Amino acid sequence: MWIHILGYTLAVAAGIAIGFFIARKTMMSYLKKNPPFNEQMLRVMMMQMGQNPSQKKINQMMKAMQKQQSK
């Protein structure tokens, strides 16, 4: 009897762990293909903060975000 309970508990724990890693890999893949920020969004955000962004500054920020995301 207790072996069945232990087996079910282990199966549920293994299912949760496998599901977590599959969901994590799927989400990382999605974010890599569709980054949450793009140049237009950065430009609008900086203009709302009162800055006049140059293309050079936008490119620097995009590189910094991509570097941070790859870590």
Q: Please write the tens of the pLDDT for every residue from 9-24.
A: 999 999 999 999 999 9
pLDDT of residue 65: 83
Higher-pLDDT residue of 18 and 37 is 18
Residue 55 has pLDDT above 70, yes or no: yes
Q: What is the pTM of this model?
A: 0.54
Query: What is the H or E stretch that residue 48 is in?
Result: helix 39-48
Our count of domains for the chain comes to 2
Residue 71 has pLDDT above 70, yes or no: no
Please tell me whether residues 12 and 41 are part of one structural domain. no
Higher-pLDDT residue of 71 and 5 is 5
Q: Give the residue-averaged pLDDT of 45-63.
A: 90
Please tell me whether residues 54 and 27 are part of one structural domain. no
> Cα 5 to the chain's mean position, in Å?
36
Helix (H, G, I), strand (E, B) or coil at 37: coil
Please tell me whether residues 40 and 29 are part of one structural domain. no
Q: Which residue range(s) make up the domain with 52? A: 36-71
